[in-house]
Amino acid sequence: MEALLAHGPFAEFALLLIVSAVVGAIAVSLRQPLLISYIVVGILLGPAVFGPVNAAEQIHLLAEIGVAVLLFVVGLKLDLAHIRNIGPVALATGLGQLTFTIVFGFALTLLMGKSTMEAIYIAVALTFSSTIIIVKLLSDKHELDSLHGRIAVGFLIVQDLAVVLAMMTMSALRGAGDAGWAEVSGSLLLRLAGAAILMYVLMRYVLPPLVSRMARSQELLLIFAIAWGTGLAALGDYIGFSKEAGAFVAGFSLASTAYREAMNARLTGIRDFMLLFFFIDLGGRLDFSTLGNEILPAIVLALFVLIGNPLIVMAIMGYMGYRKRTGFLAGLTVAQISEFSIVFVAMGITLGHVGPEALGLTTLVGLVTIMLSTYMILFSQPLYERLAPWLGVFERKRPYRELEVEAQGRPQGHPRIIIFGLGR
């Protein structure tokens, strides 16, 4: 085996794919989610356990492309009508969950004996949910276009923007006091305004004729879609946002074109294959050497994320006029922390704000919450049926906002034409 792997990254990738197929087949036979099996493959073959695979940079690159394709596809499925419907609740839910988690997470972390700066970093890290994992699970369950799926994607986008703001804010603490804060704020506003103007011009005047020309060849349309998604992802990263935000905006910019379903259908297989490397990369980067005595604090914080985050989402959505079922299903999507949480705390170590213990604690919380929340989302309907009698407190007597959404989606009259086909 060592002689084979000595031939370089190609042999290592072959081993990764073979082991992923075997472990995935075992997971399917045991009715376990493939996502978990891929993370386990990353842990087993990465440096934390056996360590035969050393092509970490190549795997990470493929993982980043997979994330870009995934969020490009998510953007493709969002149109302006959906944003008008879910915008207020997504913003309110996203900001409410962020505020609740930061305040209570900060207090909880301080009570466990952590320093103020460690408590700030850990509390902020607990607010971020994994957009990639949630979108993959909702897509597998065919729930991305459901009401709770659209709302979940909406407040996950709010969280992604918060990631950018948090990283810029903590980086500014290195700067020269108030001048650093003013410079960061002004720069962020200028970049947001510039991005909005650029996307308006592209969506209005450039993209419609360009996509029509590309669509003359189905192969060229696929290449264009991937190029546009990865290109804007790279641009988003370059101007100080994130690759994920850029890829999402790239998909959203094409959502109003006539070819979005054709692009979506052709990108599905590529998305699933590339995301395999994301989950392997996530497992391979978990650092177990820094855990030490952080197991008990990790369990406490993991329970806080698994229970507290869904409760605040249900409370906000119930107050805004949604049914308890919609609030419950949307709330489950924030019952884990993101890979960006680990990146955020790692940035704190680089800046000299926190020590490696904070990273070990965040890593363990991430591993526990990602594993458990995956099962919670996959078995959300049986879970809801068991808990429904106790969830009435999260629902108004008349869930007016959800009733309005149903009334808008109800067809008028009888359909005269039914079309079969298109994509799948």
DSSP string over 335-346: SS--HHHHHHHH
Q: Is 280:20 a contact under the CB 8 Å cutoff? A: yes
Q: Is residue 236 part of a domain?
A: yes
Q: Is 70:251 a contact under the CB 8 Å cutoff? A: no
Q: Is residue 403 part of a domain?
A: no
Q: List the CATH number of the domain containing 146.
A: 1.20.1530.20
Confidence of residue 85 (pLDDT cuts 50, 70, 90): low
**Per the structure block, which two tokens stand in for 345?**
């705390």
Mean pLDDT, residues 289-300 taken together: 77
Residue 413 pLDDT greater than 80, yes or no: no
Say how far residue 199 (Cα) sits from the centre of its chain: 22
Q: Is residue 286 part of a domain?
A: yes
Residues in the chain, total = 424
Indicate the average pLDDT of the chain: 81
> Burial level of 383, CB count in 10 A (0-12/13-18/19+)?
middle
What's the CA angle centered on 147, arms 143 and 149, to 5 degrees? 40
Q: Is residue 183 part of a domain?
A: no
DSSP assignment, residue 177?
H
**Per the structure block, which two tokens stand in for 66?**
């997979």
Q: Is residue 135 part of a domain?
A: yes
DSSP assignment, residue 394?
G
Task: State the Cα–Cα distance between residues 72 and 225, nearest whole angstrom.
Answer: 9
Q: Which domain holds residue 30?
A: 7-175+192-392
Confidence of residue 304 (pLDDT cuts 50, 70, 90): very high
Confidence of residue 302 (pLDDT cuts 50, 70, 90): very high
- Total tally of structural domains belonging to the chain: 1
Q: Is 306:366 a contact under the CB 8 Å cutoff? A: no
Question: Which residues make Cβ contacts (< 8 Å) with residue 418, sequence separation at least 6?
Answer: none
Task: State the Cα–Cα distance between residues 76 and 6, nearest whole angstrom.
Answer: 42
Q: Is residue 367 part of a domain?
A: yes
Q: Is residue 305 part of a domain?
A: yes
For tokens 């190549």, the residue is: 58
For tokens 């680990």, the residue is: 342
Task: State the Cα–Cα distance between residues 258 and 268, nearest whole angstrom.
Answer: 18
Question: Which residues make Cβ contacts (< 8 Å) with residue 308, sequence separation at least 6?
Answer: 100, 101, 104
For 328-337, how does the pLDDT look when each residue is reduced to its tens digit (9 = 90+)?
A: 999 998 898 8
> Under DSSP, is residue 79 helix (H, G, I), strand (E, B) or coil?
coil
393, amino acid identity:
V
Task: State the Cα–Cα distance between residues 285 and 342, nearest whole angstrom.
Answer: 10
* Per-residue pLDDT at 300: 92
- Calculate the alpha carbon distances from 345 to 238, 262, 361 in Å: 21, 40, 10
Confidence of residue 169 (pLDDT cuts 50, 70, 90): low
* Per-residue pLDDT at 332: 92
Q: Is residue 409 part of a domain?
A: no
Confidence of residue 176 (pLDDT cuts 50, 70, 90): very low
pLDDT above 70 covers what percent of the chain?
84
Confidence of residue 172 (pLDDT cuts 50, 70, 90): low
Confidence of residue 259 (pLDDT cuts 50, 70, 90): confident
* Per-residue pLDDT at 55: 75
Give φ, ψ of 318 to 5 degrees: -65, -40
Give the helix/strand (H/E) hosting 141.
Answer: none
Segment of 40-54, 106-120, 232-246 carrying the highest mean pLDDT: 106-120
Residue 167 pLDDT greater than 70, yes or no: no
What's the CA angle centered on 378, arms 375 and 382, to 5 degrees? 95
Other CB atoms within 10 Å distance of the CB of residue 406: 11
DSSP 250-313: HHHHTTTSTTHHHHHHHHHHHHHHHHHHHHHHHHHT--GGG-TT-HHHHHHHHHIIIIIHHHHH
DSSP assignment, residue 202?
I
pTM: predicted TM-score of the whole model, two decimal places: 0.71
